[in-house]
Amino acid sequence: MAALPRTHHDYKIGIICALAVEKAAAEAMLDQAYLKLQKKEHDANDYILGRVGAHNVAIACLPAGLLGNGPAATVARDMVRSFPIKLGLMVGIGGGVWSKDTDVRLGDVVVSQPGGTHGGVVQWDFGKREQGGVFRRTGTLNKPPLALLHALQSMKTRHIKEGDRLQESLLMLSPVMARTFRYQGADQDQLFEAAYDHEGDKTCDLCDIQKVVTRPPRTHSGPQIHYGNIASGNEVMKDGVMRDKIARDEGVICFEMEAAGLMDHFPCLVIRGICDYADS
């Protein structure tokens, strides 16, 4: 008996990305791709539809050249207009915060998890400037749905017992994508002192290696997964001193630009691959 054609009602999990490279990685992880459906009125998103395990998912990306909380909220709003989304993921890259407690390195993965007074995502640039130039953050964002937090706990338990499958997933990439998503080598993973103003270009060829923070070497080159609060704002964090201050004050281990626009209206976890250290 032939399978019934899929409709918009068959997709209850949504994945939102900000960049084309992130959308390509999400699409590459599909176990099966499905045909597109006719777009609903007033929905400007362009979707990739498919299956991950037993779950049908709809993947959408922010429009080219647009970043931040506002565009992310618009994409999420249109997605829930077209699909009965119950659970969501915000997937992409972010800036890591290294500390002795949380050894975040380039290529690692950070997953939003409630901690302290925060629900997993903190809008670090939303607040008021008080006398003396003191900035006071105001407001809080919703936690992810309990179903996602239970799933997160189960995943963490399984990883403790069996290890994660990140390396296995990377091996599934096509040769073209494998060249893009390859490990750059430990010599390319340099964390500079927070106050150091980088003098070189993006490769740091002209930067002062005396300002590199000495960290213990890892025993393997595979990515590690970290769980904690993620800082979200409409500005790109490129200041090591401010990065560390916000990280201490708010208890965050990663910076990004979209999640704060989603948490109150789109029930999701945020997953970020670390591409830099949010400094100059």
3-state secondary structure of 269: strand
CA–CA gap between residue 252 and residue 232 (Å, rounded):
10
The pLDDT score that the predictor gives to residue 177 is 87
What residue type is assigned to position 10 of the chain? D
Alpha helices, DSSP H only, in 91-228?
146-162, 166-171, 175-180
pLDDT at 141 over 70: yes
Name the pLDDT band for 1 (thresholds 50, 70, 90).
Answer: very low
Please state the domain count of the chain.
Answer: 1
> In this structure, what CATH number is given to the domain that contains residue 206?
3.40.50.1580
The pLDDT score that the predictor gives to residue 132 is 63
Work out the average pLDDT over 177-194: 86
1 inside domain: no
CA proximity to 76, closest of 33, 51, 47: 47
Instruction: Answer for the pair 73, 265: CB distance below 8 angstroms, yes or no.
Output: yes
| Residue 163 structure tokens | 């290890």
Write down how long the chain is: 280
Higher pLDDT, 180 or 262: 262
pLDDT at 169 over 90: no
4 inside domain: no
225 inside domain: yes
Q: pLDDT digit string (tens) for 44-85? A: 999 999 999 999 999 999 999 999 999 999 999 999 999 999
Q: pLDDT digit string (tens) for 100-117? A: 999 999 999 999 999 988
CA–CA gap between residue 259 and residue 112 (Å, rounded):
10
- Residue-number span of the structural domain to which 58 is assigned: 9-276
Work out the average pLDDT over 181-192: 86
pLDDT at 233 over 70: yes
User: Which position has the token pair 């992880």?
Assistant: 29
92 inside domain: yes
The pLDDT score that the predictor gives to residue 205 is 80
Instruction: Answer for the pair 262, 88: CB distance below 8 angstroms, yes or no.
Output: yes
Average pLDDT, the chain: 90
Alpha carbon 102 to its chain's center: 17
Pairing of strands 252-256, 225-232: parallel
222 inside domain: yes
122 inside domain: yes
Percent of the chain with pLDDT strictly greater than 70: 93
CA–CA gap between residue 8 and residue 122 (Å, rounded):
32
3 inside domain: no
The vertex-22 CA angle with 243 and 120, nearest 5°, equals 45
72 inside domain: yes
CA–CA gap between residue 62 and residue 60 (Å, rounded):
7
Count helices and strands (H / E) in the chain.
6, 12
